Amino acid sequence: KKNLIIFGTRPEAIKMAPLVNEFKKYNEFETKVCVTAQHREMLDQVLDFFQIKPDFDLNLMKPDQNLHSLTADIINELKNVLDQFKPDFVYVHGDTTTTMAASIASFYSGAKVCHVEAGLRTNDKRSPFPEEINRQIAGRICDYHFAPTIDSKNNLLQENIDEKDILVTGNTVIDALLDSANRVMDMQNEEIELLKSLINVNKKLILVTGHRRENHGQGFINICTALKQIAISNKDVEIIYPVHLNPNVKKPVYELLSNIDNIKLITPLPYPAFVWLMKKSYLIITDSGGVQEEAPSLGKPVLVMRDTTERPEAVEAGTVILVGTNVEKIVLETNKLLADTEYYTAMSELHNPYGDGKACERIISFIKHL
Ligand code: UDP
C-alpha cells in the first residue's frame, strides 16, 4: 500500500514526524512525505531533528501570503504529486490551511484520506480562525479519523461520522516528545548551549509562547502588560519568551517587553531546544495547542491565554488553567503557582490526558487491518 503523508507547518511536522518514522519500519507500506512548506524555516528545523527528507517539497511559502492564494496553490500543486505517486492513503494533520486544502485535493484524486488529530472542536466556526473551519472541513472529507481523546471521538460521533471509522489513539505529539525528551538532555546542540549561557538557573523560569490570531491586537498588549507586572514584582523569576515571527506578535512584544532585566526575548527555538527549555521551566504560559498537550508529560503546569478551548480534557484534568488575555487573571494565577508550593506540586503531578506515546502504533495497526 502507498502512503502519502502531507504537512506544512511546524506543529504538523512535529506531530507527523513519529508517524513517518514508524511507517518506515513496515515493508508492506511505501511511505512518502510531501511538505507544502506553509512555514519554511520552522518546518525545516523539525525535519532536520527527526531526519526526515521530504519526497515532494511544494515550497509554497510567499511573503504576505493570504489564505485564498495559499489554498489555491496547495490544491493545484498537490494535484501533480497525487497524479504522479497515486497514493492509496493520504494522511493530513489537525487544522491548518494545508490540512484543509490537502484533504480536498486528495479526495478529488480518489485517495482514502486519514485525519490525524481529528475531532477537536470549539463549534464556533470563526474561533479559532481559520483552524476551526479547517478541521471541520477536513472532518467532513476524511475517511478515517484518528481522534486523540474520547472527547474528540464524541465530537465526531455528533457529526454523524460512523464509529467504525474513528479510532482513539492519543496524540502523536506525545510520541514525538517521549522520543525527544531524553535525547535533548545530552545532545550537543548550539541553541541549547546558547540557552545555557542566557538563562539564570538560580531563578524560576517561566516559559512563554503565543501566536493565535484571536490574540492579535489588544490580546498581545494585555499579555505583555501582565508579563511585565510579573517580572517586576518577582525578581526571583526569569521569563523566557521565544517570540513568534508573525509581525502581529513580534511588534507589540518587542515594543512592550524589551529592556526588562528578567525578561529574555529570543527567536523561536528549534524543537529540541524548545523541549530542553520546557524541561527546565517552572511553569508555562501559552496560547499554543501543542504545548498544552506536551507540558503535562514533563510535569509542567500551563496557563492558557485563551477564552475558549478545543482541549477541554486538559481543563478537566486540571493540567491547564484558562486565563484568557485578562491581565489580572494571568498575574493572579502565575503568582499563585509561584507562591504556593503544594498547589504547584499537585498540578505538576496530574496525569496527561493526551496519551502515552503509542498513538502511531495504533494508527498503523488500524490501517494494516483495513
Ligand atoms: N515549539 C518549538 N519552538 C518554539 C515554540 C514551540 O519547537 O519556539 C513547538 C512546541 O514544542 C509544540 C509546537 O511547536 O510541539 C507548537 O507549535 P505552535 O504553538 O506554533 O502551534 P499550535 O500547537 O498552537 O498549533
Same domain, residue pair 329 and 194? yes
24-75 pLDDT per residue, tens: 999 999 999 999 998 888 899 999 999 999 999 999 998 888 999 999 999 9
182-240 pLDDT per residue, tens: 899 888 899 999 999 999 988 999 999 999 988 999 999 999 999 999 999 999 999 99
pTM over 0.90: yes
* Cell numbers placing 92: 493530513
Q: What is the pLDDT of residue 42?
A: 85
Q: Which atom of ligand 1 is nearest to the CA of 271?
A: 7
Same domain, residue pair 158 and 185? no
What is the ipTM, given to two decimal places?
0.98
Q: Which atom of ligand 1 is nearest to the CA of 95?
A: 25
- In the reported structure, the alpha carbon of residue 368 is separated from the centroid of ligand 1 by a whole-number distance in angstroms of 31
Domain containing residue 102: CATH number = 3.40.50.2000
- In the reported structure, the alpha carbon of residue 67 is separated from the centroid of ligand 1 by a whole-number distance in angstroms of 21
What's the structural domain count of the chain? 2
Same domain, residue pair 30 and 85? yes
Range of the domain at 38: 2-171+356-368
Same domain, residue pair 289 and 203? yes
Same domain, residue pair 282 and 144? no
Alpha-carbon distances of 164 from 79, 136, 141, 189, rounded to whole Å: 29, 19, 16, 44
Same domain, residue pair 155 and 194? no
Same domain, residue pair 364 and 326? no
Same domain, residue pair 145 and 230? no
Q: What is the pLDDT of residue 64?
A: 81
258-307 pLDDT per residue, tens: 999 999 999 999 999 999 999 999 999 999 999 999 999 999 999 999 99
* Cell numbers placing 86: 497515486
CA gap 2, 88 in Å, rounded: 5
Same domain, residue pair 322 and 250? yes
